[in-house]
Amino acid sequence: MGYKSIGRQLQLAREEAGYSQEQLAAKIGCSQSTLSNYEKGKRRIYLAQLEKIAEILNKPIEYFLRPADYHRGEPESQSGEPGNQSSPAPKKKDTSYQANLLPILNMPGEDQGEKTALEQNLLRLFQSLSPAGQILVINFVTWLKEREVGCNGEF
């Protein structure tokens, strides 16, 4: 559903920029609870408000509108009138190495800048693991990420 995914992107961008809900709410002139509802998808955010937020968080509008799984190249499921709350039919979980790696291999281009020493170190350690170990790490990171952005099982 559209607004839950917009809310998640919003939360992600806010946290990335290091703002608390209170701080960002003050900057855009709304209450913390309104911002919290935007992030949960419980209140619809409209263009004018999102434009303000996009400017503060230095992101293009499209960033908030693309589905969280856009990098996988999957068409967005029922993004229409929010009505379209139904989640896609549950897919059988593919546990193969390739399938687990796919989300990471296809990360959007903007994440591919210079790597910090920490990232390089992490990559070296990751590459030194067995395929099974790599899958474990990916599963853990995916779980962590979902927890951070409050995934509701939409993707």
Partner 1 sequence: MANFSLSPAQEQLIEEIRQVAAERIAPVVRELDEGDDHFDFRPAQALAEHNLLTPTIPRAYGGRGLDYFSTALLLEELGATCAGVATVVTTNIHAAGPVILAGTEHQKKTFLPLLASPEPHLAAFALTEPEAGSDIGAMSALAACEGGVWKINGVKDFVINGGIAHFTTVFATTDPQNKRAGMMAFLLPSGVPGLKVGAVRNKMGIRYARTVQLIMKDTLVQDELVIGRKGGAYLLLMQTFDRGRALAGAVGVGIARAAFEFALRYSKERRQFGRPIFSQQAISFTLAELQTKIESARLLVWKACWLIDNDLDYTMASSMAKIAGSQVAQEATAAAMDILGGRGYLKGCPVEKLLRDARVMSLIEGTNHIQKAVIASQL
Where along the sequence are the contacts to partner 1 (CB under 8 A)? Answer: 1-4, 34, 37, 41-48, 50-51, 60-62, 65-67, 70, 73-85
The least distance separating ligand FAD from the CB of residue 89, rounded to whole angstroms, comes to: 13
Which residues from 78-97 bind ligand FAD, rule CB under 6 A?
83-84, 86
Cβ closest to ligand FAD, residue 60 vs residue 83:
83
Residue count at the site for ligand FAD (CB under 6 A)?
Answer: 3
2-16 and 131-149 helices cross at what angle (nearest 10)? 100
Burial class of 32 by CB neighbour count within 10 A (0 to 12, 13 to 18, 19+) = middle
Pair 8, 39: CB distance under 8 Å:
yes
Given partner 1, ligand FAD, none, residue 77, with its beta carbon under 5 to 8 Å by kind, binds partner 1
79 binds, options ligand FAD, partner 1, none, Cβ within 5 to 8 A by partner type: partner 1
Cβ atoms within 10 Å of 11's Cβ, excluding its own: 20
Here the tokens at position 61 are: 């509008």
Q: Please choose which of partner 1, ligand FAD, none residue 46 contacts, taking the beta carbon within 5 to 8 angstroms, the exact cut-off set by kind.
A: partner 1
Amino acid at 82: P
